[in-house]
Chain A
Amino acid sequence: MPLTTYTAGEVLTASSLNANFSFAANSALALVKTQTIGSAVASVEVTGAFSATYENYLITVSGGAGSAGTQIRMILGATVAGYYISFYNAPFDGSAASGPAVNNGAIWNAIGFSGANGINMAATLQSPQLAKITYISAPYVNSSGAAGAGAGQSNGYLNNTTQYTAFTISPSSGTLTGGTIRVYGYQNS
């Protein structure tokens, strides 16, 4: 049932209001946490991001700026081993594509980009809080305008069954200032 809106003076019925509550509760994405990024931070840890409520998550970062035009990286909890990423980057200028990878590394890389005019990240994580492998899928868009800059996609996993509640993002080089991290949970139903 779609969300019902009301006009001034209209009598609200319990069934209509309950239908609206149900609509809200079953929205596809539920905001779990919002975190504002500080000034000149080399990393930002977000705790309480994952719980048993949701199996899959969308993490976005927007606004702010990076001190260097560089990739955004992520770890889960305090884990610094077992990360895998297959990364494909196609330059806007048509030059040769590149695909540096992470093979059982210490961090997921290239899951976002931080530049002078903003930070962008939109990573989907599957099952970070389940006792299963965690999978990640994230676009990469280098908006620096540098020769060879391009866009691509990072897909990978973290090869353990640890149940995580927190993650940390960091720029590959320099620091981050400002911007907002938002964590959304995908409804299980």
Chain B
Amino acid sequence: MTYEEAVAMYPQDEVFIQVDDEVRTMTDEEYAEFINQQINDQPIL
């Protein structure tokens, strides 16, 4: 998955971080890490 594909699939305002019952949007740093994870993920079958 490319950077552009990852951002298009998971816009920053549509992915969240949850701590117990609290759900919040990601910081820019968290979102960058999340997008990098999408790009670099190697799925295990």
- Size bracket of the A interface: 35 or more
B45: chain A residues within 8 A (beta carbon): 89, 91, 98, 142, 146-150
Determine if B19 is an interface residue (Cβ-Cβ < 8 Å): yes
Q: A38, A40, A44, A110: which contacts B44 (Cβ < 8 A)?
A: A110
B41 adjacent to chain A (CB < 8 Å)? yes
- Cβ contact within 8 Å between B15 and A40: yes
How long is the Cα–Cα vector from A67 to B19 in the complex, in angstroms? 19
Given A89-B45, A172-B43, decide whether A38 and B16 contact each other with a Cβ distance below 8 A: yes
Encoded as 1 (CB less than 8 Å from any B CB) or 0, chain A from 28 to 59 comes to 00000001111111111111100000000000
Whether A47 contacts B23 by the Cβ 8 Å rule is: no
Nearest CB in chain A to that of B38: its residue: A173
Contact with A along B1-33 (1 / 0, CB 8 A): 000000000100011111111010010000000
Measured CA separation A173–B43 after assembly (Å): 8
Residues of A within 8 A of B26 (CB): 42
A174 at the B interface (CB under 8 A): yes
A89 to B17, CA, bound (A): 29
